[in-house]
Structure 1
Amino acid sequence: MKKKLLLLLFLINATIQSQTFVKGTMSPEISDLEYVILYQLKGAKQLYVTNVDINNGEFKIDFPENSPKGMYRLVYDMNNGGFVDVLFTNESIELKFDPTFPSGTLQFLSSEENIVYANYKIQTDNLKQKLDSLQLVCFRLKDDSTAIKFTSEYYKKTRQNYRETQTKFEENSKNMLVNNFIKASNKYYAPEVFSSPQLYLNSEKMHYFDTVDFENTVLQNSIFYTEKIVDYVFYLNQSDEVEVQNKLYINAINEVVDKIDENFALKSEILTTLMYNFSQLENSKLIDYIIENFYNKLPLEYQNLSDIEQIQNSVKFAIGKMAPDFSWEENGSEKSLYKIDNAATYIVVFWSTTCSHCLVEVPELYEFIKGNDKVHVIAVALENDELGFNHYSGKFEKWTNVLGLEKWQNSIARAYEISSTPSYFVLDSNKKIISKPYALEDVKEYIEKH
């Protein structure tokens, strides 16, 4: 009996000891931070795992049994995007950081994987910054041959230091999970500095994916690919001209898709991530391009219709999109936005007689537009009754005045997702959105320029 009790105690103790966790200390302590959420990072997705309260700036999260190895995210400030990422390999992790500046203060007290990765990033990021700065200095020196020679020699020494540091970390991390990230983070630097920014940019793009293996399952269970590709598409392809910029985006997207090849799971995640990024830029043209040329051609099991619907809804009022059609009654007959055809430019303004700003801005807009035959205003008054509308709309006799009863619940207001008045939309003759001015001054500026 005694032996059985000892065995039971041993098993209980072994189970307790085998429980892995991540333990953190945030200093200074911020009272507004109440809890930490643990997510598993898998491609472009954050998969919720669990959450715990923060007590006196400290927290401890137990990893669930059989948690997969990979990259995890600790989110401690949802409102301000506060988080730190960790590598999990069935070993407990202890860390500390300043929650107001996590990227520059994060320290790992335990977990060899994370300690190695943190040291690697500190050392190599510093050397990369030096190399990039030296290359930039050479561009500025122009004809100063002595200074260029000195800078070039310093560049070569720094490059050698970087290569030796990279090799050291790759060798010392063999058989570790972090080795996958270290090898894939190796950046190509030319033996000599470039004489022009264009040559440098060409080299950057040519060698950007040299060390990235898109079949690496460890990297797929992280955000490595996502961050790498987003940087390539959005930061290595820049132009001030909209059309040129879109062509650069398209070329970059084509290159990325070609690199990923037949890895449909990764391709789906990357395409979705790019579309979400373009939705932030309200670039509906590039979203449509990705959907038509790549996403819709994925096997059905890798398509997520809810993702696409959400992305498309987020840009339905983007510049270049058709404004939602709506109808109203005028002199006993039904009229509609799409059928009206009396101007080159239309302004749809949502206002209300109970809105003090509107009662100032809308009459001013009327005086500004009056006499301009190329611009026609459709004023949608969001009201609870007809009294105010009947009183004020008569003053705007050259406009099309539409009464929107039930105010915020009015069908037109809901179609345009109106949450405040006044709200402005400028449309071209085909009823495509060409501007979304924030205030009356913005409306005036746009009309005067165009």
Structure 2
Amino acid sequence: MNWPPIDVPILGRSGLIALIALLHIPFFVNFVMGAPVIAVISEWLGKRTGNPRYDQFSKHLATMAFVTVGVGAFGGIGLVATNIGLFPRFFATGAGIFFWPLVLEIGAFLLEAIGIAVYRYTWEKNKHKTGHMVIGWVAAFGAWLSGFIINGLASFMLTPGKWVQSKQIIDAWFNPSFLPSFTHRAVAAFSITGFFMIIYSLWMAGRSKTDEEKTYAEWSLRYAGKWALIATALQFFPGVWYLTSVERGTSLAAPEGSVVPKLLNGQLTFFWFGGIILAATAILLVYFLSVQNPKQGLKPLGHLGLILSVLLIITTTAFMGFTRERSRKPYLVYGVIYGNQMMVDMMKGNAPAAAPPTETNQPQTANETEAGTGDPAAGQVVFETGICKACHSLNGDGGSIKALDGVGDRRSAENIRELLGAPPEGMPPFTGSPEEVNNLVAFLSGLK
């Protein structure tokens, strides 16, 4: 997997994956985790209270979950395909570490997909029967097991924990932020499902023709709003737990130390606190227009306010995801794998060698090579096909960490050579051959 990196215009490689994840996670992962649970609870409430509105809500929610499983699977395929193509070495490493959990994930997905389908299409015949609700819980178990597994890989990328020393899968999976992160995602599942069902209620109101249909729309709006309101408000507690676990898990993981200062008083503060403010605003809109006074929410202005609340909560999801992913930069796995897919141990010279070092195979860093006249054209090839472009861009093409346009005006050739050999924290040293170093220096110093 040493082919040249694939470049993604405008968005960049990380940006493309982030976009797919934004479409996949709230619309598929969170909703499919929350929907079966709420559907079964609603069916049980319908049986217990005799209120048919719970049954109608549960049936429609099961239908939406069934459709979402089919459509949302494409998002998962998209994430796998883009990671293989854009970050092949990282994907191979991650798949190697989490091989057996990922095999289990296949079974979990089949369990949730088949369970949701059976639950939905046996509704009319078996509703309120214990066996039918058990099928719903089995589907929910599959969805939550799937989220449980994937959360292990996602949280590992920020807090690899003891795996760095032990290389044991159990330490990679149950890393320092695993449980807080999963709890955070679990509560988010109910929040997102509640907000999406608010849209469902507005849609039902828009197509209602009889008084009974209008009454049901008003009832479902209040019911969905309660799920959205309570779950979103409860996010505060796992959020604090997650933040403290990230503080502990990243403090000693890399030379840069904890990533929390980036969130609370750094480059990501706007997105972190912005997401919290947007979520709080969404809660207020839901409380006044859905829970307290759903009749007001079904009026045209109320419609706009509730649609805005859903957009705000999706934006919050995007902001929080962005801060989590961006905070670990310049690493793909914090303190373990750089953004250019190079292992930190390799760059430190700690990787096991295939053969004892000799005069001909001893690796060198850029500041250990002798200065010489390089070929700028050959240096451009080194930049284009090597690891540089994974993080750096020229003319908007390449990585998003730092643009190198005009670097020759800002730094001398000797300064560039020193920087390649002894880079700042977070940037791996360039370990190419002396000829490649000279060619790369000639190319970069000529960018004026």
Q: TM-score, normalised by structure 2?
A: 0.26
Give 1 or 2: higher strand fraction: 1
